[in-house]
C-alpha cells in the first residue's frame, strides 16, 4: 500500500476496478444518514459525526420544517413585521464549578452566543432547572448568582423558568436548559452556506481553553495548569462590533462542542467549498497546547465557550481583524485560513511542519490516546 492511499492522498489515477469501489463509497456517503446504534451512546452528544447523524436521521426527519431545516445556531422566524431568532441549549457540564466560570455562566452565555452569531440582538431567556435530590441549596444559589451576573453582562432578562427535582442518583446535581429569543436586523442575512472562495476565516482568540479547563478540572488526569481558565463569555457585543465595522461578514459561529474544526467542516459542507487552515496562525495558549500534546488530542477539536469563528469577504478581512482586536474579547483574534473551491466539502490544514492533511469531522469526543 502506498502512503498516498494511507493518508489522505494518492499519486496515481485509479484503475477501472478501483474507480468502481470509489464510486460505491461516494454513493454510500450521499445516502441519507442512518442511526445504526440501538441505544444512545456518549458519542451522540459529542457534536461530531454521530451527533450530526442523530439530528438528521431522528429529529430533522420527524420535525422537518423550513425554519428548522438550516440547522443553524438559532432558528430565524418572521412574526408580523419582526424577524426573530430563537434557540435552546441544555447544560450538563461536570464539574459544575470550574476555573473561569460555573454551569450558570455557560447556560446564559451559550444561549446568548447562539443568538448573537446569527446576527441577532439577544433579549429574553428562559431557564429550566433539573435538580437532583440532595443538591446543596448553597450551590444552587452560587449558580443562580453567576447567571444573574452573566445575564446583566449580556443585556438579557431571564423572564420565565421551570424547576423539576429528580430522585437521588438519577441526575448529576444540576442540569440547566435555557431558551433565548433575540431580534434580527431586517437588512442582514448571515449563513454559512454563503461562504465563497476567497473569503477569510477568522477566530476571535485562542482555541480550546474551555474544553481543556474542564478536562483538567475533573481531576482525573493529574495535569495541572494554573493559568488556564474557561473562556466562557457573551459574544453579543463582539458580534455587533464586527458586523458594524465591515460589510461582507458571511457567517459567524461560536466554536463550542467539536471546536473550530467541526465548525469549519460545517461551513465546507453547507457551502460546498473547501476551507484551508494554516496551523501556524491558529492562536493556542501554551497550557492548552501542552495538555493537548500530552493527551494526544488536537486543540482545533476542543470546545470553546467564548470564541467567535467568522467567515468574512477576503477583501475586508484585515478591517474585520482590526475591528475584532479593538474589542476586549478579541485582542488575540487571528486570520487562520481561507475558503477555496476544491475539494468541495473538505477542510485541509497546512501543518506548521510544512505538510498538509485533511481535517475531518470526528465521530465522537476526542479521546486521550496511548498509541
Distance set, CA 277 to CA 44, 201, 235, 254, 337 (Å): 27, 8, 23, 17, 4
Size of the site for other proteins (CB under 8 A): 64
- Beta carbons of 242 and 317 less than 8 angstroms apart: no
> Is residue 165 involved in binding other proteins (CB under 8 A)?
no
**Whole-number minimum distance, CB 92 to other proteins, in Å?**
16
Q: How many CB atoms lie within 10 A of CB 173?
A: 18
Nearer Cβ to other proteins, position 154 or 216? 216
CB-facing half-sphere around the CA of 212: CA atoms within 13 A: 30
Choose the binding region for other proteins from 127-135, 137-145, 167-175, 352-360 (rule: CB under 8 A). Answer: 352-360
> Is residue 293 involved in binding other proteins (CB under 8 A)?
yes
Nearest in space to 160 (alpha carbons), one of 130, 127, 129: 127
**Whole-number minimum distance, CB 150 to other proteins, in Å?**
31
66, 222, 226, 227: residue in contact with other proteins (rule CB under 8 A): 222
Nearer Cβ to other proteins, position 12 or 81? 12
Angle at CA of residue 337, ends 346 and 25, nearest 5°: 5
Q: What are phi and psi of 124, to 5 degrees?
A: -125, 145
**Whole-number minimum distance, CB 67 to other proteins, in Å?**
30
Beta bridge partners of 339: 275
Q: Which residues contact 96 (CB under 8 A, 6 or more apart)?
A: 102, 103, 139, 143, 173, 174
* Contact mark string toward other proteins, 6..45, x via CB under 8 A: xxxxxxxxx--xx--xx-xxx-x-------xx-xxxxx--
> Is residue 110 involved in binding other proteins (CB under 8 A)?
no
Beta bridge partners of 183: 84, 121
Nearer Cβ to other proteins, position 298 or 305? 298
Kind and range of the H or E run holding 123:
strand 120-132
Beta bridge partners of 252: 310
> Is residue 371 involved in binding other proteins (CB under 8 A)?
yes
3-state SS class at 277: strand
**Whole-number minimum distance, CB 193 to other proteins, in Å?**
20
Nearer Cβ to other proteins, position 137 or 371? 371
Q: What is the dihedral of CA 141, 74, 29, 360, to 10 degrees?
A: -60
> Is residue 138 involved in binding other proteins (CB under 8 A)?
no
61, 162, 286, 315: residue in contact with other proteins (rule CB under 8 A): 286
Nearer Cβ to other proteins, position 191 or 290? 290
| 256-285 residues near other proteins, rule: CB under 8 A | 274, 276
Nearest in space to 306 (alpha carbons), one of 290, 330, 287: 330
Rounded CA-CA distance 113/282 in Å is 21
Kind and range of the H or E run holding 249:
strand 249-254
Nearer Cβ to other proteins, position 45 or 248? 45
Nearer Cβ to other proteins, position 17 or 32? 17
**Whole-number minimum distance, CB 314 to other proteins, in Å?**
13
> Is residue 227 involved in binding other proteins (CB under 8 A)?
no
Nearer Cβ to other proteins, position 8 or 126? 8
Q: What is the CA radius of gyration of the chain?
A: 21
Which positions lie near other proteins, rule CB under 8 A?
1-14, 17-18, 21-22, 24-26, 28, 36-37, 39-43, 220-222, 274, 276, 286, 289-290, 293, 295-296, 298, 338, 340, 342-343, 346, 348, 350-358, 360, 363-364, 367-371
Amino acid at each position: 500500500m502506498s502512503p498516498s492511499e494511507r493518508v489522505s492522498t494518492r499519486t496515481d489515477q485509479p484503475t477501472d476496478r478501483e474507480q468502481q469501489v470509489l464510486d460505491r463509497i461516494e454513493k454510500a456517503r450521499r445516502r441519507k444518514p442512518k442511526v445504526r446504534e440501538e441505544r444512545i451512546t456518549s458519542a451522540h452528544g459529542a457534536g461530531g459525526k454521530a451527533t450530526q447523524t442523530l439530528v438528521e436521521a431522528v429529529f430533522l426527519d420527524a420535525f422537518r420544517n423550513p425554519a428548522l431545516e438550516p440547522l443553524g445556531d438559532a432558528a430565524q422566524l418572521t412574526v408580523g413585521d419582526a424577524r426573530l431568532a430563537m434557540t435552546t441549549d441544555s447544560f450538563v457540564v461536570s464539574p459544575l464549578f470550574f476555573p473561569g466560570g460555573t454551569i450558570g455562566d455557560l447556560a446564559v452565555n451559550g444561549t446568548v452566543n447562539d443568538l448573537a452569531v446569527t446576527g441577532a440582538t439577544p433579549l429574553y431567556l428562559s431557564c429550566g432547572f433539573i435538580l437532583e435530590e440532595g443538591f446543596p441549596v448553597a450551590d444552587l444559589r452560587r449558580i443562580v448568582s453567576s447567571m444573574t451576573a452573566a445575564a446583566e453582562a449580556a443585556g438579557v432578562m431571564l423572564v420565565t423558568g421551570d424547576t423539576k427535582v429528580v430522585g437521588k442518583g438519577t441526575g448529576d446535581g444540576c442540569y440547566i436548559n435555557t431558551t433565548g429569543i433575540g431580534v434580527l436586523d431586517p437588512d442582514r442575512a448571515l449563513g454559512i452556506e454563503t461562504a465563497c472562495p476567497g473569503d477569510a476565516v477568522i477566530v476571535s482568540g485562542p482555541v480550546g481553553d474551555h474544553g481543556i479547563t474542564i478536562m483538567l478540572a475533573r481531576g482525573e488526569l493529574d495535569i495541572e495548569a494554573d493559568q488556564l481558565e474557561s473562556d466562557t463569555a457573551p459574544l453579543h457585543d463582539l458580534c455587533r462590533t464586527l458586523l458594524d465595522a465591515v460589510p461582507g461578514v458571511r457567517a459567524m459561529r461560536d466554536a463550542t462542542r467539536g471546536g473550530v474544526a467541526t465548525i469549519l467542516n460545517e461551513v465546507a459542507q453547507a457551502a460546498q467549498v473547501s476551507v484551508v487552515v494554516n496551523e501556524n496562525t491558529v492562536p493556542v495558549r501554551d497550557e492548552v497546547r501542552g495538555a493537548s500534546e500530552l493527551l494526544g488530542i488536537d486543540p482545533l477539536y476542543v470546545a470553546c465557550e467564548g470564541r467567535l469563528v467568522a467567515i468574512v469577504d477576503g477583501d475586508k478581512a484585515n478591517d474585520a481583524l482590526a475591528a475584532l482586536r479593538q474589542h476586549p474579547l478579541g485582542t488575540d483574534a487571528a486570520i487562520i485560513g481561507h475558503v477555496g473551491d476544491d475539494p468541495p466539502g473538505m477542510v485541509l490544514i497546512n501543518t506548521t511542519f510544512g505538510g498538509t492533511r485533511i481535517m475531518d469531522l470526528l465521530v465522537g469526543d476526542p479521546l486521550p490516546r496511548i498509541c
